[in-house]
Amino acid sequence: MTCDHCARAVSEALRSVPGVEDVLEVSHAGGSARVFAGPDATAERIEQALARAGFQARVRHEAPAGAPAVIARPASDFDLIIVGGGSAGFAAAIRGSELGARIALVEGGTLGGTCVNVGCVPSKTLLRAAEANHRRTHHGFGGIPATDGRPDWALVRGQKDELVTELRHVRYWDVLRAYEAVTLVPQPATLASAHEVQLADGRTLSAGKTLITTGSSPWAPPIPGLAEAGYLDNAGAMALERLPDSLVVIGASAVGLELAQMFARLGVKVTILEVQPRIAPAEDPAIGDALGDYLGAEGLEVLVGVQIERVSRTNDGYTIHFRREARGHTAQADQLLVATGRRANTRGLGLEAVGVTRGQRGELVVNDHLQTASPDIYGAGDVLGDPMFVYVAAYGGSLAAENALRGNTWRYDLSAVPRVTFTDPAIASVGPTEIEMRARGEEPLVSHLPMEHVPRALAARDTRGFIKLIADRTTRRIVAAHILASEAGEMITESTLAIKAGLTVEDVTSMFHPYLTLSEGIKLAAQTFDKDVKTLSCCAA
């Protein structure tokens, strides 16, 4: 396939085949397609239909003829046992139920996992509250009175807790009630075999297949004195009874940056310590450099390239001893937040005894069908390691359930995964950086558009940041996007879709983009590959 028109033609040809119920994906970039089809849609019929449409193709994988909807194990209690009740586990339970399987969802802790309880939901509502407080005195409009005052943290935290409780019930407990085939087992469990799970009360559940979706937990480096002193993780920080006067944050990736800015905007004196040469170290270097300047302008102290030597605590608070530029320093604060990443929850499950392999950081090792070394045990979600995003977990849970119950039909595809850091301005990116591409011997086409050239940013009096698009030099297909802007997360989906569909620079510039939207910046950035946007009028094609 050479264009998106070809992709549409392929889709139409596939839909014409008797037995094809749905065309799930046609990838112009990958030259591939996925369909959901019944037994009438044979490989020969599919290939002939595509040949009539002018395409040479072969069926790479098909379920065996007469394969059952669910691969069942005789005399077992369930078809699938899912160990872990977070996003991946719920997605798997829903998909298994849709396939007609008998599902056991085993969860010994709080239902809903990280995202709804201590991750995305509570942090993002607190971030918005902190932004509202910040905007009272920091905005770009004359004539709008600015008022200051200490926020009511107890009320703000209470509203966060109410939202978490509501969503946990609406999105998890109430959802379970809609699926009669799913049995919730609220107990911790270990794996007794590939087909048996031992519960804390001594009972054993059996199933044809097992899926591990136990998620992840915050991880702290072995800094001398840290364990003895104690510290906050992200959940503990958001549950503080009162706002501290000062806070040191160790770690400047997504969680550390989001919470550091949140507390600073609520009136806390914040110091960030990062071992890498810049904050947001996984992002394009220009993003980390610029965001560090913006945070510094808000009053946060941002120190990069530090080597933390030890941590101590007294009644007066924490003292962090570190070296920077070959000199010794200390940072002092009432509270200490450690945000240095997460590790898979795999200890205590009995994995080694059932033949499941773990990686260097404890993560499950799986193949591209999400199958472990023990063929009847699968894994999905944060327990696999990076990328630890709720939408990746949900995708993986559904795919793993499908593969476990119907045979290894689908492959786990992370070729276009966007990520967002909800700072202000926010970070959003998808695909490799230009540095990563050049390290692979590729010479990319790069477009860099400061937000000051995006009309929406000008109208909002907020021109912080930029949009960087990267294209393949030969095909001019979009391969990456790196954005720093006030609502970067709302802009990244178009670039993700462009990568997934194999769109070119010209495909993006020829699309209609509504004027005075931030998404128009994607078109302007695409135009910047070939034009100086400063010489264009508004809405210029």
285-337 pLDDT tens trace: 999 999 999 999 999 999 999 999 999 999 999 999 999 999 999 999 999 99
Structural domain contains residue 72: no
Q: How much is the average pLDDT of 479-485?
A: 98
- Inter-residue contact 518 to 483 (CB < 8 Å): no
**From CA 464, how far away is CA 490, in angstroms rounded?**
16
Residue 444 is predicted with a pLDDT of 96
Structural domain contains residue 443: yes
Structural domain contains residue 413: no
Of residues 538 and 308, more confidently modeled: 308
**One domain, residues 256 and 323:** yes
Of residues 164 and 305, more confidently modeled: 305
**One domain, residues 214 and 353:** yes
The kind and range of the H/E element at 189 are strand 189-193
Enclosing domain of residue 114: 78-218+344-406
**From CA 63, how far away is CA 253, in angstroms rounded?**
42
Count CB-CB contacts under 10 A for residue 265: 24
**One domain, residues 437 and 310:** no
Residue 20 is predicted with a pLDDT of 76
Structure tokens at 124: 């993002």
**One domain, residues 257 and 356:** no
Lowest mean pLDDT: which of 25-34, 383-392, 465-474? 25-34
Residue 434 is predicted with a pLDDT of 96
> Per-residue pLDDT tens for 241-287?
999 999 999 999 999 999 999 999 999 999 999 999 999 999 999 99
Structural domain contains residue 57: no
Query: Phi then psi for 89, rounded to 5 degrees?
Result: -65, -40
**One domain, residues 113 and 203:** yes
Structural domain contains residue 191: yes
pLDDT at 231 over 50: yes
Tell me if residue 249 falls in helix, strand or coil: strand
Chain-wide mean pLDDT for the chain?
A: 89
**One domain, residues 319 and 335:** yes
pLDDT at 65 over 60: no
**Separation of CA 158 from chain center:** 26
Closest CA to 397 of 116, 67, 89, 62: 89
What's the pLDDT band for 412 if we cut at 50, 70, 90?
very high
Q: How much is the average pLDDT of 54-74?
A: 67
**One domain, residues 88 and 42:** no
Closest CA to 125 of 86, 152, 162: 162
Give the best-scoring range by mean pLDDT among 169-173, 329-333, 537-541: 329-333
pLDDT at 500 over 70: yes
**One domain, residues 84 and 204:** yes
pLDDT at 103 over 60: yes
Q: What percent of the chain has pLDDT over 90?
A: 69
Of 325, 340, 355, the one marking the end of a domain is 340
pLDDT at 400 over 60: yes
CB under 8 Å to 424, separation ≥6 — which residues? 127, 131, 134, 261, 486
Residue 30 is predicted with a pLDDT of 59
Residue 130 is predicted with a pLDDT of 77
The two beta strands, 342-344 and 216-218, are antiparallel
Structural domain contains residue 541: no
Based on the structure, what is the number of domains in the chain? 4
CB under 8 Å to 377, separation ≥6 — which residues? 191, 194, 209, 210, 211, 212, 354, 355, 356, 371
- Inter-residue contact 304 to 323 (CB < 8 Å): no
**One domain, residues 109 and 92:** yes
Lowest mean pLDDT: which of 47-51, 211-215, 387-391, 422-426? 47-51
Residue 116 is predicted with a pLDDT of 67
Residue 156 is predicted with a pLDDT of 83
**One domain, residues 301 and 230:** yes
Q: How much is the average pLDDT of 85-95?
A: 92
Closest CA to 188 of 307, 85, 277, 308: 85
**One domain, residues 509 and 455:** yes
Structural domain contains residue 70: no
Of 340, 369, 396, the one marking the end of a domain is 340
Count CB-CB contacts under 10 A for residue 216: 26
pLDDT at 150 over 60: yes
pLDDT at 1 over 60: no
What's the pLDDT band for 110 if we cut at 50, 70, 90?
confident
**One domain, residues 335 and 349:** no
Provide the CATH number for the domain around residue 336.
3.50.50.60
pLDDT at 72 over 80: no
Residue 175 is predicted with a pLDDT of 78
Of 340, 362, 391, the one marking the end of a domain is 340
